[in-house]
Structure 1
Amino acid sequence: MNDRPLDLDAVQAFVRIAELGSFTRAAEAMRTTQAAVSLKLKRLEDRLGWRLLERTPRYVQLSARGAAFLDHARELLEAHDRALAEVAGARQRLTIGISDHVAGPELPALIARMNAQDPQLLIEIRIGSSGELLQCFDRREFDTVIVRLHAGRSDGELLAEERFGWFAAPAWQHRAGEPLPICTLAEPCGVRVMAGQLLDAARVPWTEIFVGGGVAAVAAAVMAGLGVAALAPRMLPFGAMDVGSRLGLPELPRLPVLLHSRVKDGRPRAALAALSAAFRGAVRA
């Protein structure tokens, strides 16, 4: 029997690959290279004498042994974190602001991913408009904000670029001769401003038919058949239709999502890296 203790870095690499389904995303979450993650996994597999993952150029999948080992690996990492937290004392806090146009239906899974990364970290998340969140960040009310591109700023780390479209309910029809009914977020909202400017430039008559206090409210108005909204596909329930081409509406650009953060190291940075990597995966999916 091999009595050598397991390498915790290698165990963490295995868990990240299994959770994110990608060596690349695992490397992003751990703030290292794909080659380093691959080496850690090989070291763990050699130590255990099992193949934990089946990988091809197109997918990564747990082996039977890997699936059985995953829960034990998580328990090992959690025990390690609890031990460190008890020695360190009080919990560290990480405050995050996320734009309402960014925080989609996968937010619960992303929060779970952060908690799995560091169960002892106190996470505080608030949702708002990009402009308001950036102002709060500049006043040091947040450690980190994840927002859409904001006019007049060129700072921030690019997380992803996301496609937008003009969405309506499946049965919705535009009445000929009437202005295009638009469902929007309340001011201030950069997507709202952009959509209006593009429609004006294309000389498409339009009118606001619904103003929501959040993306969920706007999506509900769209699915209720009130009108059209400029939204990312992942923000809408299944069945919403992109009607831009059919109505001859101007093409919407891919909009960047940016991370602004003062967190540079330590446990909060590791949790934030896990969130960023998982978010990139959610947007690209």
Structure 2
Amino acid sequence: MTLDVDAVKAFVTIADLKSFTRAAEALGSTQGAISVKLKRLENQIGQRLLERTPRLVRLSAQGAEFLAPARELLAAHDRAIAGLSAARRRFALGIANHVGGAELPTLLTRLHAHDPALTIEVRLEDSRDLLAGFDRGDIDAAIIRREDDRRDGEVLATDHYGWFATPDFLHRPGEPLRLAASSPSCGVLNIATRALAAAGIPWTEAFLGCASFAVADAVAAGLATSVFSRRLAPAGTIEVSKRFGLPALPPSEMVLLSALSDARSRATLKTLISAFREHHRRPANAASSVPAAAVLGS
């Protein structure tokens, strides 16, 4: 018996994502096409691999037994394909500090599974630095916060920001608000300070760190408040805009920039986009212990 590798890949992807729709998106296919591949595989091995209802997709008993061997088959296939390549491909990916968080391991895992011969170079910097690097051609693709009036790029998701501090952080009306930031020239900081100025709220720089995680540590230690993406606020902090009468902050689009046009690179970008969007469908957790990346420093 010779198994269809594409059909096995469809089965494993559906099992991992527990959704025909998401699996189709991840594979750059349609729900109907992967359903046909799964049915062909089930007919070939004479076993029902997945139980499907209008609200649930789960492994059958036979599917649970077949999943590990199916992964081994795909891994062996990928190794064989990779061995045919004389040189590894390089893919330089820039991710803005305030964008990359819990999804970063997912993105890297999905990219490696898609193309094991891919050498992934990741740059974690401010959006403006990555934008400059992309325009110079130093980066193949960049996921950044939408800057100013620039409208190119594919929108991946919308991020929402808030003011975060520890529950015991004190700010008295009339006193300058103590802020922590990692870059005095960052776009998010400019938006936040303009909002404070419009609201007539004075502020002072209480902490300036060289990296976003240092800012998160300063806020978690109760030294200051700062602006974070609501999905990436440091553990132990709470949203304090209502408590201290701080102004609301506008949402921000996260976009993917890329000038890659060859078929292999487009397939890589599809995998990247699918993994990012799939992760952002999950409920946000403002108390996450993920290293903060959406701070005043991007």
Give the secondary-structure state (helix, strand or coil) at the position aligned to 2:247: coil
Question: C-alpha deviations, 1:16-60, integer Å up to 9, x for none?
Answer: 233334333323322223333333333333333334334445454
Alignment partner of 2:14 out of 12, 17, 21: 17
Q: 1:132 aligns with which of 126, 129, 133?
A: 129
The whole-number CA distance in structure 1 between the counterparts of 2:255 and 2:67 is 32
Distance 1:51-1:162 versus aligned 2 partners, 3 A rule: farther
| Matched residue, 1:151 | 148
| 1:283–1:188 Cα change, 3 Å | farther
- The equivalent of 1:70 in structure 2 is 67
Given the superposition, is the C-alpha separation of residues 60 and 245 from structure 1 closer, same or farther in structure 2, using an over 3 Å criterion? farther
TM superposition score normalised by structure 1: 0.89
Secondary structure of the equivalent of 1:88?
Answer: coil
In structure 1, C-alpha distance between the alignment counterparts of 2:261 and 2:9, rounded to whole Å: 20
> What is the number of residues matched between the two proteins?
282
- Structure 1 position 87 matched with structure 2 position 91: no
Kept in 2, the 8 Å contact 1:215–1:235? The answer is: no
Give the 5 Å matches for 1:35-184.
35-184=32-181
Distance 1:250 1:8, change over 3 A: same
Q: Give me the whole-angstrom Cα distance separating, in 1, the residues matched to 2:184 and 2:106.
A: 28
Tell me if the contact between 2:174 and 2:201 (Cα under 8 Å) persists in the aligned partners: no
Q: What's the Cα RMSD here?
A: 2.2
Tell me, yes or no, if structure 1 residue 198 matches structure 2 residue 195: yes
Percent identity reads 52
* Structure 1 residues without counterparts, runs of 5 or longer: none
Where does structure 2 lack aligned partners over 5 or more consecutive residues? 283-298
C-alpha distance 49-187 of structure 1, shift in aligned 2 (>3 A): farther
Letter in 2 for 1:92: R
Residue pair 2:88, 2:118 contacting (<8 A) in 1 also:
yes
1:233-253 deviation line (CA, Å, top 9, x unaligned): 332333321111222222222
Counterpart in the other structure of 1:240:
237
Instruction: Please state whether the residue corresponding to 2:224 is helix, strand or coil.
Output: coil
Q: Which residue of 1 aligns with 2:247?
A: 250
1:196 maps to amino acid: T
Q: SS of the counterpart of 1:235?
A: coil
Change (3 A) 1:36 1:230: farther
